[in-house]
Amino acid sequence: MDFIYLASQSPRRRQLLEQLGVRYELLLAGAEEDAESLEAEIAGESPEVYVARVTEAKLDAALARLAARGLPPAPILCSDTTVAVDQQILGKPLDADDAFRTLRLLSGRSHRVITAVALGLGARRSVALNLSWVDFAPLSDAQIRQYIASGEPFGKAGAYAIQSQAAAWISRIEGSYSGIMGLPLFETAQLLRQWDVQF
């Protein structure tokens, strides 16, 4: 296969796919779809189970979208990233106060970044999970407020992006830099090869 569909609004995921040299077309949710509802948490669900379930739900929605639009068949790539402290899921901040609480929680400690990737077409699907650890230096309230004022925390799981000025706070990572960005390239490349996608 010479191209895939990418069902993600994330410019970072597009950039990472381009880094691999993968040809893709965007397959984005229409105004009639409630894409945000797919990310609703279920009580008692672990962060790892949550991110895998959300990614598969995104794939189901994208497969239905492909069929409804009558587009040529090709594998669809979906991904979801979450940040977790212990069993607490830290999603995209709702507002500045939520971003402050999240970054205050991450300050001076280690957290997990979990990214799931799914590739599917028809009844066939393949899913991979990447787990990375990130250590934050202690942050002052002034540092956190300045970062929030930049607008960078919004739309990001855990209220930060590793490729932003928040990188200055990260003392150590263990795992996949691209996974922390939102698309683990090692696992993604493995899935693409399983599907004979050319890149």
Q: What is the pLDDT of residues 65-77, one digit of tens each?
A: 999 999 999 999 9
pLDDT, mean of residues 172-193: 97
Residue 110 lies in a domain: yes
Residue 174 lies in a domain: yes
So what's the pLDDT on residue 38? 86
Higher pLDDT pick, 37 / 119: 119
- pLDDT tens sequence across 13-67: 999 999 999 999 999 998 888 877 888 899 899 999 999 999 999 999 999 999 9
Q: Sign of dihedral through CA atoms 160, 33, 48, 121? A: negative
Residue 175 has pLDDT above 90, yes or no: yes
Q: Which helix (H) or strand (E) holds 50?
A: helix 47-69
The pLDDT of residue 79 is: 97
Query: Is 108 among the domain residues?
Result: yes
Residue 80 a catalytic site member = yes
Using DSSP's 3-state secondary structure scheme, residue 52 falls into helix
Q: Is 50 inside a domain boundary?
A: yes
Distance, in Å, from the CA atom of 76 to the CA atom of 59, rounded to the nearest integer, reads 7
In-domain check, residue 63: yes
Q: What is the mean predicted confidence (pLDDT) over 74-82?
A: 97
Domain for residue 133, yes or no? yes
CATH number of the domain to which 111 belongs: 3.90.950.10
User: What's the domain range around 96?
Assistant: 4-194
In a domain, 199, yes or no: no
Q: What is the mean pLDDT of residues 77-93?
A: 95
* pLDDT value of residue 53: 97
Residue 180 in this model has a pLDDT that exceeds 90: yes
Instruction: Flag whether pLDDT at 139 surpasses 90.
Output: yes
| Total domains in the fold of the chain | 1
For residue 27, the tally of other CB atoms under 10 A from its CB is: 21
What percent of the chain lies above the pLDDT cut of 70?
A: 100
Closest of 75, 188, 53, 67 to residue 125, by C-alpha: 75
Cα(143)–Cα(137) distance, integer angstroms: 11
In this prediction, residues 91-103 reach a mean pLDDT of 96
Under a CB-based contact definition with an 8 Å cutoff, are residues 113 and 182 in contact?
A: no
> Which residue bears the tokens 């009639």?
32
Angle, helix 96-106 to helix 141-149, in steps of 10 degrees? 140
* Residue 102: predicted pLDDT: 97
Mean pLDDT of 118-128: 96
Identify the pLDDT of residue 130.
98
Output the average pLDDT for the chain. Answer: 95
Catalytic residue of the set 34, 60, 80, 141: 80
